[in-house]
């Protein structure tokens, strides 16, 4: 029985996405791809690193050292604070983009992330960039499965049918 | 007979590229990869989303709402208006890059796109980002096959041997 | 005997990475992925193009024509001169990032590159972007295997199990 179950499980197609960008548009693309894949019954792993950590951060300041605190101020805030990769213009671009998306009834980033979680997409944080940027595990959303290293992502990428670096 | 034909067709290697960037250098990379793959007899699908839509836009203003029009002004123009991801410097970087490329007799972006089309590369627009940015289908080049959603790209990525997010 | 050897060799999993970015964080990600994969006994190919060439450049000015020299000034320097993709702030961001990485005892970019070489990762330069940016082969580090075209990378990507565009 178990063997059959395993075989069935193994047949599920897999996707692995490394998300290094924390830009509104890039995160949007990443979650659209992840939710589309999960909705097609794929097993999806997302690995958030560096600026991408914003996607799984709670709202709040981070950092212990002076520089960690500076980084916490500059990169503070959660997924709602993501700026577009172009025309960030001190938050104006973000406001504009969100309005345009709302006008077209497009899902917001927090909605997309929730959809991803509901569809079983697995979210991981990159331990090394969390160390460097002084972001403790507690400041990530509770749904984050684990904080792992690059080798973990490479393993996931190797067993996946589709891989992206965003 | 048909079965044999199908089998032969299925053996063709496939590539799927999502192009979210509209930068001169990134588009250059995307089309170089696409044309190289198509020239090696691969079946290549390119999916243009957000800023990447520039690569398949006609020259001309777009947008209906105030913000759509603003976006049309900021992101107006076709593939020739793509700026390098660094040193855009109000168009100076673009001018400089184009001159340097011409001096080395490197193909221009419009030439590379035409080459891609001639080699059978399939170009698709992302319907959702067209909605958000208020870019109607008519403002895309006639060679654009269809405007589709993220799920379409995920399907193509899954059946492809090589996938990129650029 | 040879057939067995070949078979064994063929079983080695492969990864192909195109590196177009020359940003500190992106290069960091690229080398972390490459070294993790190589440490797991994968056969890894890295193809450096455009800004990514910084990763395999020696320190020193390049360029022959006026514009080539300008580019050599703007993009001069080796892997140590890579700026983060955000907060470059005239070198301040680079200084800050390096300090934060050092504080956490994270390997530096030159160390990661050396580790990659020691693990057998193969580094290639993109001939076309070297031509455009007037970067001669002599200005690349001696460990660079060859300067090749896009078709070479596409071949490597096609035979690879995992591919990334960074």
* Burial of C161 from C-beta contacts in 10 A (0-12 / 13-18 / 19+): middle
More confident call, B86 vs C122 = C122
Which of A32, A96, A161 comes nearest B158 by C-beta? A161
- List CB contacts (< 8 A) between A50 and chain C: 25, 28-29
Contact A136, A58 (CB under 8 A): no
Helices (H) and strands (E) in chain A, counts: 7, 5
Residue carrying the six token digits 């008519």: B138
Residue C125: beta bridge partners? C48, C147
Question: What is the structure's pLDDT at C8?
Answer: 55
Strands in B14-19's sheet, in edge-to-edge order, are: B146-148, B122-126, B43-48, B14-19, B162-165
Task: Say how far apart CA B16 and CA C128 lie, in whole Å.
Answer: 23
CA atoms within 13 A on the CB side of C77: 12
Q: HSE on the CB side for A14, CA within 13 Å?
A: 16
Q: State the helix-helix crossing angle for B66-74 and A92-103, rounded to 10 degrees.
A: 120
Cβ neighbours of C106 in A, within 8 Å: 128, 131-132
E-only strand ranges, C66-156: 122-126, 146-148
Which residue carries 């001696």 as its tokens?
Answer: C142
The helix/strand count (H/E) of chain C reads as 7, 5
User: Chains with 3 or more CB pairs closer than 8 angstroms to A?
Assistant: B, C
pLDDT > 70? residue B4 = no
Give the alpha-carbon dihedral of C116, A14, B44, B145, to 10 degrees: -140
Pairing of strands B43-48, A122-126: unpaired
Residue A46 tokens, joined:
């997302």
Nearest to C154 among B37, B85, B99 (CB): B37
> Is B1 a residue whose pLDDT tops 50?
no
DSSP one-letter code for B81: G
pLDDT of residue B79: 95
Q: Per-10-residue mean pLDDT for chain A, 166 residues long?
A: 54 96 96 98 97 95 87 87 86 87 93 98 97 94 97 98 98
CB C165 within 8 A of CB B165: yes
Asked if residues C32 and C106 have their Cβ atoms less than 8 Å apart, the reply is no
Cβ distance A56 to A123 under 8 Å? yes
Cα–Cα distance for residue pair C33/A152, rounded to 1 Å: 10
- Residue C22 carries which DSSP code? -
Mean pLDDT across chain B, nearest whole number? 92
- The chain C residues in contact with chain A (CB within 8 A) are 13, 25-26, 28-29, 32-33, 35-37, 39-40, 42, 85-87, 96-97, 99-101, 103-104, 106, 161-166
What span, in angstroms and rounded, lies between the C-alpha atoms of B27 and B30?
5
- Chain B neighbors of A104, CB-CB under 8 A: 128, 131-132
**Per-residue pLDDT averaged across B60-75, rounded?**
86
Q: What angle do CA B87, B90, B92 make, to 5 degrees?
A: 60
Residue A33 CA to residue A26 CA, distance in Å, equals 11
The tens-digit pLDDT sequence of chain C (166 residues) is: 455 555 555 689 999 999 999 999 999 999 999 999 999 999 999 999 999 999 999 998 888 898 888 888 888 889 999 999 988 777 888 988 899 899 999 999 999 999 999 999 999 999 999 999 999 999 999 999 999 999 999 999 999 999 999 9
Residues of C in contact with A155 (CB under 8 A): 40
Tokens matching residue B103: 């001096």
- The CA distance from B151 to C145, in Å, is 39
ipTM: 0.91
Neighbours of C (≥3 Cβ pairs closer than 8 A)? A, B
Residue given tokens 């969100």 in the structure block: A98
Compare A92 and B160 and report the one with higher pLDDT. Answer: B160
The backbone region for B31, taken as left when phi is positive above 0, alpha when psi lies in -120 to 50, beta otherwise, is alpha
Q: What are the residue ranges of helices labelled H in B12-108?
A: 24-39, 66-74, 92-103
Minimal C-alpha gap between A105 and chain C (Å)? 30
Q: Is the pLDDT of residue B95 over 50?
A: yes
C contacts of B99 (beta carbons < 8 Å): 67
Minimum mean pLDDT range among B35-44, B89-98, C54-63 = B89-98
């Amino acid at each position: 029985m178990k063997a059959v179950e395993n075989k069935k499980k193994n047949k599920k197609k897999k996707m692995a996405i490394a998300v290094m960008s924390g830009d509104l548009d890039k995160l949007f693309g990443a979650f659209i791809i992840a939710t589309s894949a999960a909705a097609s019954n794929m097993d999806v792993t997302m690995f958030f690193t560096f600026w991408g950590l914003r996607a799984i951060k709670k709202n709040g300041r981070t950092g212990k050292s002076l520089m960690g605190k500076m980084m916490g101020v500059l990169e503070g805030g959660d997924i709602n604070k993501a700026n577009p990769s172009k025309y960030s213009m001190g938050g104006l671009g973000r406001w504009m983009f969100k309005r345009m998306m709302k006008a077209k009834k497009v899902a917001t980033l927090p909605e997309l992330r929730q959809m991803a979680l509901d569809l079983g997409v697995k979210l991981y944080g990159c331990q090394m960039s969390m160390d460097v940027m002084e972001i403790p595990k507690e400041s990530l959303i509770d749904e984050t499965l684990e904080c792992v290293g690059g080798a973990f992502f490479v393993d996931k990428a190797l067993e996946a049918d589709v891989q992206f670096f965003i």
